Structure 1
Amino acid sequence: MAESAVGAVLGNVSTLAVQETTLLCGVSLEVEFLKDELKRLQGFLRDANNKRRRGDESIVVLVSQIRDVAYEADNAIEAAENMQKRNRLKKGFMGAIARYARLPSDLTTLHEIGVEIQRIKRKISDIFESANRLKIVDLGNTSIENVHLDDEFQLDYGPMHQNIEEIVVVGFEGEYKEIAGKLVEAEKSLSAISIVAMGGAGKTTLARKVYTSDRVKLHFDTIAWVTVSQKYKVIDLLKDILKQIMERRDESIDKMDEYEVGKKIHNLLFKKRYLVVLDDVWETDTWEQLNRTITAFPDATNGSRILLTTRKEDVARHVQMPTYVHSLKKLDEERSWELFSRKALPLYKRSAIAHVDEFEKLGRKLAKKCDGLPLALAILGGYLYKNLNKQAWTDILLDWPATKNGEMMQNILARSYKDLPNHYLRSCFLYIAAFPEDYEIYVSDLMELWIAEGFIPHTRNHKLEETARKYVAELAQRSLVQVTGRSEAHGWIEKIRVHDILRDWCIEEARKDSFLVVIDKTSGQVGAISTDITISYRYCYQHFNGQNLQASRNLRALIGFHLRSISLPKLRFLRVLHIEDSSLRDSSRAIGGCIHLRCLKLIRCRRVTLPSSIGQLLYLRTIDMRNTHALVPKSMWNIPSLRHVYLSDEFFPPRGVHQNELKTFRLKLTVENATFATMGKVFNLDMMMFLGQMTQLTDLSLRCEPKVWVTRSRMPSEMVNILANMPHLVDVELHRFDVLDKFPESHHFPQSLRRFSLEADSIQQDPMPVLEKLPCLVVLRLSGYTGQTISCSDGGFPRLQNLWLTSFHNTKEWKIEAGSMPKLSHMILDEFSKMRKAPEALLHLPSLNLLELNGMPLISVGEDSTHRRS
């Protein structure tokens, strides 16, 4: 990944203000020289990588040296620019001196940088000599400033929605109907259905298709899905299930022990017909482990079911209850072709393909080679869709290795990976290996990591986030990631997973390329620690207990999951620090010295302290402290590059700070801290002023989740008025108000708003006449209206697609004029306890295809009657 390293560094250098003559005080020319030399190295890398792929191991060291010197140049240049940024932010007399003269400390820093640059220049000179000796030639390269996304690849949105998650059922219609039928059959006793097949055969995808079907969801009172995998903790699985089956959020779950969680699950499920899916089970005693302290899953003889997927037949048959085992067969030749053709030759594209019949002949032969494995068919089909020329298809057929399934998959993956249109996208794909097995990755989190690493190039007419989303879509189109969720408001991919087989391949490829080392203590070391010859700049630790993390001093990314009492090392050149579900020591000391840090994510962590010097981290874009209790220093708000902030609990609005460039602000006050006193300190005039100057926000979320017995510990109604100062808002979540007696006029709302979620104990004014005028609103969720009538007028809600109204306990009448909500497709009405007749206009909404009624009495719609769905 040396190409990615050099490209990322050049992109970073190009954004620095190196043209200012005062910037480096004599070092500017040296910086320009380094930039030119790095461009030359890019050209040599092309030939070096070609020779390395042909097996020339003498090139490995040279490629590693090029990557190393690029990162060292990046560190040196950025250290100088950091000094200049710091001086510009100083105020008063010392600030004037720093801006127009040189402090002794600055002169020392500049001298050290100059010495470092001279050392780097000597290393570059040695690299060129080695390149000449190895007869590596400069093949030339397009500079980073001229790389355009649309030139790199044309993203075709047609098949994007045909991800393997959605189309694999093409080959399993019979199995889908059979398994769904077994789940809803009349047998009353608790029983299990096990799906057994090898990796890549489509077990999980088929199970998910059944799980999300309307037939199954309507049959069961409650459903839950957990992925077990080879490494699991019983308590974590049980907590995950409990959170899914509870109707309300309860932060106290995280503090429960295994017995308490099991008992709570038992009590909630005892009177309900439930379905629990245990995906990817490896051990025969998993079911016994889940019920070891108490029988968490009772048999109430009401038709409850367990759905299990596994690669091992003995696991499938070991569950101690009546069990139906379904051995998932490989796809036959015709069904293989059907799945393959939907990826490689989609129907909407065929008319534009010359000699499509010849492609079909070749395609049928290639589909047969995949041996009926849906994963292989989808990935190969995605690759060939991007290479629609007969010679490429013929070459693959002729070169097809006569190997076993595992090796066949490796070859298909390697070919698809190498076909990715640029080294940035290849780096983005390998980066996914840092996440644990079966982890559901939020695309917004992933994009922030990619951007922090420099893997998203600056391109004309594209924001970094737009380019990153196109990269995610490209990976999905090629079936290299599985789409598990899309944004209701925007339609873009919101959540993804990576199949175990792909993840294992990525881990090995990243290790061989010294791109990323993954170390997991639950199953031994997955990746090898870097040798003296090659250095890995990214480490991912998983399931460590009471140890000091070891990493090279030049580390750029440290990622961790489930670390216990870990002491973070001092890592001066760190760009990314991403830790989840961990207990940390010395976090303040470790973070304070990371002047290059771009992305700080400490999610669901304990014993975290942020340093008061955090304001000196002048490149920091993202601070993510979701469900982590840590006091936020006031200095943090002085960081000029800050764009995304996620906070929990210990936050009090600062005075005298200006963060008018922030794009995302999410604050969640949870059970322990959401007392009346805390609310009074947080949601006051200071908060109104603090938020009011965030004029560039696009995403705002304020959540209050206090204890149920604490009264009036909510946001004041005036808080809704801050939206008038935020014209660029797209997503808004406000939970929870005490009494919201009056809505602002519609022109005081951001006209760009696409998703609006609001919850209150009492909304006293009908919100519909105001909100229906918002021209871009796509998703609306309201809770707590206490009036008796609501009204929607002709032409109202012109783009609304999803509507969720809950806790409208006093509402008796809903007036809907013809022409209202023309695009509404999904409506949920929850707890309309006094409504006896729904508006007849519901029957005439032109786009409505799903209506859910929860917690409602028997109501009539026109002449028809609809029973509540519980």
Structure 2
Amino acid sequence: MAESAVSIVLGNVNALAVRETTMLCCVTLEVELLKDELKRLRGFLRDADNKWRRGDESTAVLVGQIREVAYDADNAIEAAEYMQKRNRLKKGFMGTISRYARLPSDLTNLHKVGVEIQRIKRKISDIFESANRLKIVDLGNTSTENLQVDGELPQEYGPMHQNFEDVVMVGFEDDYQEIVGKLLDKGDSLSVVSLVAMGGAGKTTLARKFYTSTSAKQHFEIVSWVTVSQKYKGIDLLKDILKQITGSTFRSADQMQEYEVAKMIHDFLSQKRYLVVLDDVWETDTWEILNRTTRAFPDAENGSRILITTRKEDVANHVQMPTHVHPLKKLDEQKSWELFSSKALPSYKRSVIHDVDEFEKLGRKLARKCGGLPLELAVLGGYLSKNLNAQTWSDILLDWPSTKNEQMMRNMLARSYWDLPNHYLRSCFLYIAAFPEDSMVYVSDLTQLWIAESFIPHIPNHTLEETAYKYVTELVERSLVHAVETSMGGGRIAIIRIHDILHDWCKEEARQDGFLDGVDKTTGRAGAQLSSANLASYRSTFQSLSNVILPGAPNVRTLFGFQLESVSLPRLRFLRVLYIEGSTLRDFSTVIGGCIHLRYLKLHCCGGVMLPSSIGQLLYLQTIDLRDTKLDSQVPQSLWEIPTLRHVYLTDGFSPPPPARSVRQQHKELQTLFWDVSDVGSECCYHDMEILLGQMGQLTTLFLVMSPMPSEVFNILAHMPHLVDISLSNFGVLDKLPAELPRGVKRLRLCAHVIKQDPMPILEKLHYLVVLDLSGYEGQTMFCSAQGFPRLQELKLVGFSTDDWRIEVGAMPKLSDLTLRECNRKLPEGFLHLPSLNHLMLYRMPQISEDDNTLKELERKGCQVESL
């Protein structure tokens, strides 16, 4: 990944040359010369990196030096650019002077930058000398990988992903039904169902399939999932369960003793039917450890269940209560082929393959080699789907080593990893190792992180977010990550997960490469000690530690922290990414203002957070995400002066914008605004926000919650023509909707206490609308015309009490999912005119009986009806 570091720096320098050619003044020439040296350095690096990976340890030092000098160059160049950015935002007389002339302090700083660049160039010269002594070859611009122009991925022929959970169910339908039967049987006593199989056999997938099913949600009042793995602490698992079942962060649990947590779990569950999933249990005494102080999981004789997945049969048999052990068999030859072919030869690719029969013949032989393991079949299939060359398939079959399954899996992962089209995508894949095992990773978070790290190249006519999403789909297609959930209606991948075997491989590869270090509750070691001896890491992730002082290495660029009871940040001058979740921060406000290179700041479910006014000095900040974090201060006005903001998520701490005459910053980059100010409780705050929102004409996503929401907010939407995703909540009484809304909107959520006028005649004209979530209409009639809602796929209506809902033939031709919640009416006969309706969900609608004629006719036509 050292080549990735050099390429990232070169990309930043090129972007700098486009944006700020004049700003570097006396160091412009130095930067151009440095860029040439870095290009030449990249040619040497390719050979050095290859030799190091083949076992030549003498080149490891050189690889580390090249990475270090690349990042030093990035820091130096950006320091000069920062001065220009800062001067442009200065106001008054000094602002005018700094924008058109050079202040003595600026000249001094620019001189320091020039001196630093000279130092870096001397280090590069030393590296060249070392390379010559080590006989490192300059490979120049010749590429050792399949790198498309500008980093763009090859175009696919059809659908870009399949849901892994659905694909891997091939061959396990009977197993799944048996497991469901045991979990939902009528026995009242608390009992255990254990899935037993080797790694990669599909245990977790089957467990999660049930855990997320409607059947589980209907049958159990409380559900909780924790991943145990080989290294764990009982109290940490109990705290995680407590937070899940109480439905909140429950921060006080962090200070509680183990017996107190266990007792709270016991008391909370004693009156409820619950399901607790213990995934990936390795030790026989895990159940005893979880119940050693107080029996955490009571037997209330109400049919509660424990579901365990494990690789060891003795673990499954050790639990001292009624237990059903289900050994998960490997797939037979035919099922193995079905799973393999679904990945390697999907239907949309078969049509363009010249000789499908030859590929099927080779594919069946390769599928047999995988020994019936779903993960191995999926990863190999994903790899071969990108290499539709009969010779490649034949070579793999001939070279198939006679090794154990575990080593074969590792070999296959390495092959798939190095087959990724470019080093940008390899960096993106390894980056997932920063998240805890079995995490549900939101694609929006991941893509914004990749962009902040400069892993996403600029491609003409594509936004960075679009390219990043292509990278996600590429990883899913190759089965290196799994699509867990897609977005409503649009079908875009929303959440991914990486299998624990792949996660372990990623962690090891990232550590050995010096790409990322990890420290958790079981290691207790400093991050730098975990990486290869000669490759210092610039990224670290910390999990489940107490009283942590994160490393103070001056060149650290990325820090992740998960469930850190109390964490102190050192002064990190070159920090680009800070991602902290479920932690209490100390002295945050005194540190963050000095992180002038910061691109990404996420503090999720954290305490002790105060945003200082110096937050406005973070002139490279792209994403700030403070959802579910309680601020100890208001959001400073200076935040809105940052010109590079792309995504803003705030749920607490409202601060009005500065007066109109001082608002000069047009938010040309801002795409996402998520703002929950419901706690403010006053309409007047909207008028303070109106000026600021008026500067956000490029927004594509607006999520706004106020109590109450004023109807004047619709006036602002008229000035946001690029909106595709709108969510406006907590209107009071809304007389009617505006005659026009942004024409390109695809997802719309409007939540009101009362809507007086029928909203459908206006909303059905939104020709691109795919998802509609509407609540509060209390009119007597509702009408959907024959040409209305041409693209609508999902419709959710809450709290409707119309007497007459008429749906003409031809309305909503693509509607597939319909949800009605607390709607005081019968089902209209117009539902039978909806040709694509295949799923109807009814929440809290007791007036709808099983004898309802419309309901029976829908079921007869194949529509799945569920009621909660």
TM over 0.5: yes
Pairwise CA distance, 1:149: 6.1
Instruction: Give me the whole-angstrom Cα distance separating, in 1, the residues matched to 2:827 and 2:655.
Output: 45
* Residue type of the alignment partner of 1:667: W
- What is residue 82 of structure 1 aligned with on the other side? 82
Shift of 1:212: 4.6
1:290 and 1:59, CA in 2 relative to 1: closer, same or farther beyond 3 A? closer
Structure 1: runs of 5+ lacking an equivalent: 244-249, 705-712
Q: Are 1:192 and 2:199 counterparts? A: no
The equivalent of 1:246 in structure 2 is none
CA distance in 1, matches of 2:96, 2:251: 54
- Of residues 725, 742, 748, the one that matches 1:731 is 725
Report the counterpart of residue 575 of structure 1 in structure 2: 576
Residue number among 681, 690, 693 corresponding to 2:692 in the alignment: 690
Amino acid at match of 1:406: E
> Deviation per CA, 1:169-202, whole angstroms, max 9, x where unpaired?
1121221222233334444444332111121110
| Number of residue pairs the alignment of both structures matches | 842
Partner of 2:862: none
Aligned to 1:708: none
Q: Contact 1:196–1:312 (CA<8 Å) still a contact in 2? A: yes
Q: Distance in 2 between matches of 1:531 and 1:408?
A: 24
Task: Measure, in 2, the Cα distance between the counterparts of 1:149 and 1:307.
Answer: 49
* Residues 17, 23 of structure 1: 8 Å contact kept: no
Q: Which residue of 2 aligns with 1:634?
A: 637
Contact 1:825 1:850 in 2 (8 A): yes
Question: Structure 1 residues 654 and 263 mapped into 2: Cα distance closer, same or farther (>3 Å)?
Answer: farther
Q: Counterpart in 2 of 1:306?
A: 306
- The match for 1:710 is none
Which 10-residue stretch deviates more, 38-47 or 503-512? 38-47
CA spacing shift, 1:565–1:151, aligned 2, 3 Å: closer
Q: 1: distance between equivalents of 2:545 and 2:728?
A: 37
**Partner of 1:247 in structure 2?**
none
Matches within 5 A, 1:48-67: 48-67=48-67
CA contact (8 A) 2:239 2:253 kept: no
Q: Secondary structure at the match of 1:853?
A: strand
Match of 2:241 among 217, 223, 237: 237
Alpha-carbon distance between aligned partners in 2 of 1:341 and 1:526, rounded to the nearest angstrom: 45
In structure 2, C-alpha distance between the alignment counterparts of 1:502 and 1:157, rounded to whole Å? 27
Whole-angstrom CA distance in 1 between matches of 2:264 and 2:616: 44
Q: What is the Cα deviation at residue 7 of structure 1?
A: 0.9
Secondary structure in structure 2 of the residue aligned to 1:569: coil
Please state how far the C-alpha of 1:490 moved relative to its aligned partner.
Answer: 2.7
Give per-residue Cα distances to partners, 1:276-326, cap 9 Å, x unaligned.
Answer: 444333454555666778777665655544333222323323444422110
Q: Which amino acid aligns with 1:819?
A: G
Q: Does the CA contact (< 8 Å) of 1:790 and 1:815 recur in 2?
A: yes
> Which has the higher mean CA deviation after the structures are superposed, 469-478 or 156-165?
156-165
Worse-matched range after superposition: 267-276 or 793-802: 267-276
Return 5+ residue gaps in structure 2 as ranges: 860-864
User: Residue 794 of structure 2: which of 774, 791, 802 is its match?
Assistant: 802
1:442-463 per-position Cα deviation (integer Å, ceiling 9, x unaligned): 0111111111111001112211
Post-superposition CA distance 1:10-37 (Å, at most 9, x none): 1111111468564122110111111111
- Structure 1 counterpart of 2:341, one-letter code: S
User: Aligned partners of 2:724 and 2:163: how far apart in 1?
Assistant: 27
Query: What is the CA–CA distance in structure 2 between the aligned matches of 1:13 and 1:46, rounded to whole Å?
Result: 20
2:371 is aligned to 371
Residue of structure 1 in register with 2:102 after alignment: 102
Match of 2:758 among 758, 766, 787: 766
1:652 counterpart letter in structure 2: S
Code of the aligned partner of 2:645? L
Cα deviation for residue 739 of structure 1 reads: 2.3
Contact 1:452 1:598 in 2 (8 A): yes
Provide the rounded CA distance (Å) in 1 between the counterparts of 2:592 and 2:165. 40
Partner-residue secondary structure (3-state), 1:714? strand
Question: Partners of 1:276 and 1:521 in 2: how far apart?
Answer: 23
d(CA) in 2 for partners of 1:397 and 1:855? 56
Give, in angstroms, the shift of residue 152 of structure 1.
4.9
1:361 aligns with 2:361: yes
Shift of 1:761: 2.2
The equivalent residue for 2:604 is: 603
- Structure-1 residue corresponding to 2:710: 716
Q: More deviation in 775-784 or 733-742? A: 733-742
C-alpha contact (below 8 Å) 1:163/1:477 kept by paired residues: no
Matched, 1:660 2:663: no
CA shift, 1:274, in A, is 5.2
Per the normalisation by structure 2, the TM-score is 0.91
Residue 763 and residue 735 in structure 1: after superposition, are their counterparts in 2 closer, same or farther (change >3 A)?
same
Stretch of structure 1 that moved more, 810-819 or 255-264: 255-264
User: Quick one: which amino acid aligns to residue 66 of structure 1?
Assistant: I
Pick closer, same or farther for the CA change 1:780–1:618 going to 2, 3 Å.
same
Aligned to 1:722, the other structure's residue is in SS state: helix
* Structure 1 segment 25-44 matched on structure 2, within 5 A: 25-44=25-44
TM-score when scaled to structure 1? 0.91
Counterpart contact for 1:442–1:494, Cα < 8 Å? yes
Cα deviations by residue, 1:57-109 (Å, 9 ceiling, x for unpaired):
22222222221111111111111111112112222211222122221211110
Code of the aligned partner of 1:869: S
Q: Does 1:461 align with 2:461?
A: yes
1:624 matched to which residue of 2? Answer: 625
Q: Secondary structure at the match of 1:175?
A: helix
Give the drift of 1:269.
6.9
Change (3 A) 1:415 1:133: same
Partners of 1:223 and 1:573 lie apart in 2 by 44
SS at match of 2:228: coil
CA contact (8 A) 1:200 1:501 kept: yes
Code of the residue aligned with 2:646 in structure 1: it is R
Partner of 2:867: 869
Distance 1:649 1:142, change over 3 A: farther
Q: Is the Cα–Cα contact under 8 Å of residues 780 and 804 in structure 1 kept in the other structure?
A: yes
1:811-856 residue CA offsets vs partner (Å, 9 max, x unmatched): 3332212211111000011112x31x32111022000000111211
Residues 819, 840 of structure 2: 8 Å contact kept: yes
Q: Does 1:699 align with 2:682?
A: no
Pairwise mapping of residues 426-505 of structure 1 onto structure 2 (< 5 A)? 426-505=426-505
1:270 Cα offset (Å): 7.1
Q: Distance in 2 between matches of 1:56 and 1:426?
A: 22
Which letter does structure 1 place at the counterpart of 2:429? F
In structure 1, C-alpha distance between the alignment counterparts of 2:164 and 2:844, rounded to whole Å? 36
Deviation readout 1:299-354 (Å, 9 max, x if unpaired): 56555443332223233234444221101112233322222222122344334333
Deviation at 1:211, TM superposition (A): 4.0
SS at match of 1:352: coil
Q: Which residue of 1 aligns with 2:817?
A: 826
Matched ranges for 1:497-646 at <5 A:
497-525=497-525, 528-530=529-531, 533-630=534-631, 631-646=634-649
Corresponding residue for 2:227?
A: 228
Structure 1 pair 261/127, CA: closer, same or farther in 2 (3 Å)?
Answer: closer
1:406 aligns with 2:406: yes
Q: Distance in 1 between matches of 2:94 and 2:855?
A: 78
Query: Are the equivalent residues in 1 in contact too, given 2:161–2:473 (CA < 8 A)?
Result: no
CA–CA separation in structure 2 for the residues paired with 1:285 and 1:855: 42
Q: Distance in 2 between matches of 1:254 and 1:846?
A: 51
CA contact (8 A) 1:653 1:686 kept: yes
Letter in 1 for 2:713: M
2:772 is equivalent to residue 780 of structure 1: yes
Tell whether the 8 Å contact from 2:148 to 2:421 is kept in structure 1 after alignment: no
Q: Distance in 2 between matches of 1:512 and 1:272?
A: 47
- Sort the Cα spacing of 1:240 and 1:857 in 2 relative to 1 into closer, same or farther, 3 A: same
CA-atom RMSD, angstroms?
2.9
Question: What's the offset of the Cα at 1:497?
Answer: 0.9
Given residue 757 of structure 1, which amino acid in structure 2 is its aligned partner?
Answer: R
Find the aligned partners of 2:361 and 2:147 in 1 and give their Cα distance: 37
User: For the structure 1 residues 739 and 287, does the alpha-carbon distance in structure 2 shift closer, same or farther, using more than 3 Å as the test?
Assistant: farther
Q: Are the counterparts in 2 of residues 147 and 459 from structure 1 also a CA contact under 8 Å? A: no
1:842 correspondence with 2:831: yes
Say if 1:767 and 1:318 are closer, same or farther in 2 by CA, change over 3 A. farther
- Structure 1 residue 229: deviation in Å? 2.1
User: What's the counterpart of residue 743 of structure 2?
Assistant: 751
